[in-house]
Structure 1
Amino acid sequence: MTNIYGLLNISRSSILAQQTGIEVTGQNLANVNTPGYSRQLVEMQASSLGTGVKLGSITRAADGFITSQLNSSASNQSFYKTANRAVSLLETIFNESDNRGMSNSVSQFFNSFHDLSLNAKGMTERTAVIANASLMADNMRRISSDLNRTQTNMEEQIKQTVTQVNVLTSEITDLSKTIHASEKNQIQANDLRDRRDEKVKALADILDITTYEDPGTKELIITTTKGKTLVMGQTAFQMETSINGNNNGLVDVNINDGQGNLTNITQEINSGSLKGHLYVRDTVIPGYLNRLDKFAAGIIREVNRVHSSGYGLDKNRGVDFFSSLSVTARSDVNNAGNATISGVVGQQGFVSTDNYRIDITGGGSFSLFNVSRGSASGTFSFSSGSAVDLGNGIRVTLSGSAQAGDKFTFNSSEGAALSMAVNSAVSADPNKVAAGKTLFPGDGSNATSLADLQNSLVFQGNTLLAGSGAVTFQEYYASLVGDVGIESLKAAQGMEHQDAIQKQLFSQREGIAGVSIDEEMVNIIKFQQAYNASARLMSTVEEMLKALQQAI
């Protein structure tokens, strides 16, 4: 049975417990506007008779599942935001809202040939053809340069983001060390856990991750959603970039296992700003560059084909109007052999602008695959150093030792937009513009054929099929510009959708972990009244002791 001094202990323990409750409530109110703060709860436990109340622990009001969903949503939201910003820049690059756009310059170019056909000897008309061709080529080079510059910016963003990941994982492990040390000594680390959660969320903004806290060791483990470890308790595994020779020298993203071994995770990153940068760099921009190059190469090939068949006022024929197309060829960096590849255009007016791949089958032979059309293009024999005519206007030469399974790629369109220019011989002498199909000075029939190219059906998909295609040059380009708009719309809609999900999840999180001023004010009154009652109990005990002393 409790004696009078036991009552003092009861009141003392209660006063201390209620005081702690008021302190925690004050901490919650002080952080009502602190991002990422989780309200704290005081757990009180009844002690045995005569000992009052025991302060249990001060816990965070946190829901691990909702936190995980928030991180996942943040990754998706960040991906769409990054993609939306980048694609909005591309819309500016392909801007067709004024008369200086590509579509208008193409029209002016072909229309100038129509004007020339009406006055084949006119120097003004010939000069206009060259000027409009130069304007169109300038537009091609500008758009291509802007796309390449945007891709370079994405590359730099990827490198900076990888550095940011390493900073965050280091900060997370530092916080984990402090949390582990504090809780090992029975010191609550709720504020540190909130700070760590904010760092984890920042990491989730960059790439898709999975988090797990070991129930035994209480250590935090962070992996990519594909299972590659970024943080193991108090150890962070650094990200690194490495050059990919099969991707035009752009970088891949790797994780270092701490022993110097790199695991390439570029293709395993599914969301976050890092995925956004990778997607725009490796998918969006190369796709538009490829189509722009096909567009430029198509105009170059077709104009050169018709132009070279006609006569200029200087009575010469066989002159290309634009600088000739050239072959870009590459060896796969994973080839077992040491063979290199080079290529030349054999027939400018008939060269294929498709993308091709050579697969070495062994025994001095290879198979040719048309990547653009997704079809096989035959089997060829070769010997080192000797040119092979592929029958598509291109001759390739393999030099060195090629092994079965080695791969090579080539095409005649890559970089066509960036290098497009009027043949220097033509720009220097307008008399070389081949307006006629005969030597008669007033013949403008070849200029008419050149003007007719504007309405010729030349493209089937991305394949140049002069005269048997489905769309004209301008329809092909309009489709390209339209797809940029569709890509932008998709990114904007995805961002709006993820914003709505994020708001809903954040509202759920705030309902559990957020600070409610009304609720905290109720807690203050509750703890204050309990404190006053405990203080009154102590005063009563004091009066009882005085009464005993007087009785003695």
Structure 2
Amino acid sequence: MGVYSITDSAMSALNIAQAGILTTSQNVAGASVEGFSRRNANATMNALAPNSLMLNGTSFAVEGFTRQYSSLLSSQYLNQQAKSSYSETLVQYTQAIDTLVADESTGLNTAISNFFNAMGTYAADPKSKPQAAAITASANEVARRIAGMSSLTSQIRSDAQKGLEDTRLQINTLLPALAQINRQIIQDRSSNNSYPSADLLDERDRLLSQLQKLVGGQTLINSDGTATQLIAGMPLLDRGVANKLVMNGGQDMQTAVYSLMSGSNSTVMSIQHLDGGQAGALFELVNTFAPKIDQRLDAIALGLVSAANTAALTANNINGQTNPFAIFGFQVGPEKWPNFDGDITSDINDVADSVGQMVSGVNSEENMNRLYDYLGSSNSLTLSGFKAANFISLAPSNTAEYFDVMGDSIITSDAANFLQKQSSIFVGSTASLVSDVGVQVATWRSTQKADIAVMKNLKDQKESLSGVNLDEEAANLLKYQQLYAASTKVLQAGNQMFNALLSIMN
């Protein structure tokens, strides 16, 4: 091998060593950076050198740098992030209400059962003041638990609405940043670079990952390396153009709706549904989960007012000769109802008549179901404040009020017994509420566990390809240092040989 071949090979090896040390240092520095993809320096060995003076010398070169990346794996990872964020958010926001409905000491089912049991015991001895006191105590507990559960669902809705607004702000911060990265990638490609900077691509993937966690949707990596993000089939981001999300409260200010503002004329497109990401979960809580619980609680509260207060009426009450005796009612502003023009029970039945033909209180499961369906849309009852959030106990704390001036019980034995027989209607409705909440939260929790397992598997696969192993990088650094040192010695030997030849020729 000629001196020139030795020198050429040594210089090539020196360049390879320098490139290897450079990529190793980058990998070590990026090991703690989320979303960093490992780099490799690619060396190539050319065929035998054509120059006859070099005889059988070989030539090495650094072909380029490779970013360890799989588009398929990255796409799967992004999609799973949206699913995992969705289930995690749902479980996080519903833990409190799941605990509340499942615990017998705080759940509504036990309190309602105790109330009807107290009515049954009272029916056997309607002159007993202790039994009358038991009705008041159990009624107070029912009201406390209904109001407490309603307050909790209201808190879930409020927290979720705030979460949606915070999510919107974060999304609208990420979109311009990602659009800027897309523009830089396009600029990189237009500068005669065969591929964009690995740092730009890493930053692109980091921002996409955050977007998927927040809003889900579909991520597309374009042929030029830029990203497009779609939600509900509409472009949230298209290369260098970032649209904007706005938050709408819905017509009743209870639901939540995102709208996409795009174009120079600020065209607004409504987004009614999201099936992934944190925003999708918050949509589910605000628009479906909390309203369904409220609807069930409102039906139970209205049904109890109707059934219990109807049982509490005597002939004199019905004819308007005395003030009606009430067990349950609603606190609407400063007013405590159950009397509106004499009798809230009649008012409830009058409104319910148009859909349920309820008479003498809610006295059948069919009536309760009809009332529940009636409350599923805008209605005069809840709009007037007759809902679970305002449900109170009006049962008198003074047991003497259970009896008239003659000492006769206002709630007759027959009325109490009839009301007790209706317990299955309310216990069944409450059990349905508890079951629905429990099954839903359990489903979300099970989904979350599955998502965690899938996410871990995908993350491990991604790390095995793109992640940095510090032990491996330490070994590579040692290898490249040895190559660098060996190449330097070869150059020194070649230089000595060249000097020796010059001396001989001289």
TM-score range (shorter-chain normalised) is: 0.7 to 0.9
Deviation, structure 1 residue 315: 10
SS of the aligned residue for 1:319 comes to coil
Which residue is equivalent to 1:364?
Answer: none
Give the TM-score normalised by the residue count of structure 2.
0.80
Whichever structure has more helix as a proportion of its residues is 2
CA distance in 1 between partners of 2:411 and 2:446 (Å): 51
Deviation, structure 1 residue 223: 1.8
Residue 243 of structure 2: which of 202, 224, 237 is its match? 237
- AA at the equivalent of 2:21: I
Residue 171 of structure 1: which of 173, 177, 180 is its match? 177
Per-residue CA shift, 1:385-427, capped at 9, x if unaligned? xxxxxxx9x9xxxxxxxxxxxxx8425367422222345xx74
- AA at the equivalent of 1:207: V
Which residue is equivalent to 1:410?
Answer: 379
The sequence identity of aligned pairs, in percent, is 20
Per-residue CA shift, 1:161-207, capped at 9, x if unaligned? 11111112222223334444456555962133223212211111122
- AA at the equivalent of 2:209: K
Shift of the 480–323 alpha-carbon distance from structure 1 to 2, 3 Å rule, reads closer
* 8 Å CA contact retained: 1:107, 1:454: no
- AA at the equivalent of 1:138: R
Per-residue CA shift, 1:203-251, capped at 9, x if unaligned? 1112223223332x43222222x43112222221111112310x44433
Per-residue CA shift, 1:346-392, capped at 9, x if unaligned? 934744659979xxxxxxxxxxxx99669x9xxxxxxxxxxxxxxx9
CA distance in 2 between partners of 1:503 and 1:141 (Å): 41
Per-residue CA shift, 1:236-291, capped at 9, x if unaligned? 1111112310x444331111113311111231x11111111111111111111111
Per-residue CA shift, 1:96-132, capped at 9, x if unaligned? 332x543343344344445554664566655554454
Residue 421 of structure 1: which of 386, 392, 397 is its match? 392
* 2:11 is the alignment partner of 1:35: no
* 2:461 is the alignment partner of 1:508: yes
Gaps of 5+ in 1: 328-343, 358-369, 377-391, 395-407, 458-470
SS of the aligned residue for 1:94 comes to helix
Residue 78 of structure 1: which of 59, 81, 85 is its match? 85
Deviation, structure 1 residue 536: 3.6
Shift of the 127–310 alpha-carbon distance from structure 1 to 2, 3 Å rule, reads farther
CA distance in 2 between partners of 1:443 and 1:249 (Å): 44
Whichever structure has more strand as a proportion of its residues is 1
- AA at the equivalent of 1:410: N
* 2:215 is the alignment partner of 1:207: yes
- AA at the equivalent of 2:43: M
Residue 472 of structure 1: which of 416, 425, 429 is its match? 425
- AA at the equivalent of 2:181: L
Which region of structure 1 is more displaced relative to structure 2, 526-535 or 538-547? Answer: 526-535
| 1:9-20 → structure 2 map (5 Å cutoff) | 9-20=8-19
Q: Name which structure has the greater RCO, CA cutoff 8 Å, separation 6+.
A: 2
* 2:496 is the alignment partner of 1:543: yes
* 8 Å CA contact retained: 2:314, 2:410: no
Which residue is equivalent to 1:347?
Answer: 346
* 8 Å CA contact retained: 2:185, 2:226: no
SS of the aligned residue for 2:225 comes to coil
* 8 Å CA contact retained: 2:10, 2:490: yes
SS of the aligned residue for 1:472 comes to helix
Per-residue CA shift, 1:65-99, capped at 9, x if unaligned? 1011011111111111111112212123435332x
CA distance in 2 between partners of 1:39 and 1:65 (Å): 17
Which region of structure 1 is more displaced relative to structure 2, 491-500 or 412-421? Answer: 412-421
Deviation, structure 1 residue 154: 0.8
CA distance in 1 between partners of 2:485 and 2:19 (Å): 14
Which region of structure 1 is more displaced relative to structure 2, 86-95 or 150-159? Answer: 86-95
Deviation, structure 1 residue 296: 1.1
| 1:43-192 → structure 2 map (5 Å cutoff) | 43-46=42-45, 49=49, 52-94=59-101, 96-98=103-105, 101-114=107-120, 116-117=122-123, 120=126, 126=132, 129-182=135-188, 184-185=190-191, 186=193, 189-192=197-200
Deviation, structure 1 residue 30: 3.7
Q: Tell me the C-alpha RMSD between the 2 structures.
A: 3.9
* 2:435 is the alignment partner of 1:482: yes
Per-residue CA shift, 1:327-348, capped at 9, x if unaligned? 9xxxxxxxxxxxxxxxx98934
- AA at the equivalent of 1:472: I
Deviation, structure 1 residue 7: 5.3
Deviation, structure 1 residue 28: 1.8
Shift of the 355–275 alpha-carbon distance from structure 1 to 2, 3 Å rule, reads farther
CA distance in 2 between partners of 1:135 and 1:62 (Å): 60
Equivalenced residues, count: 470
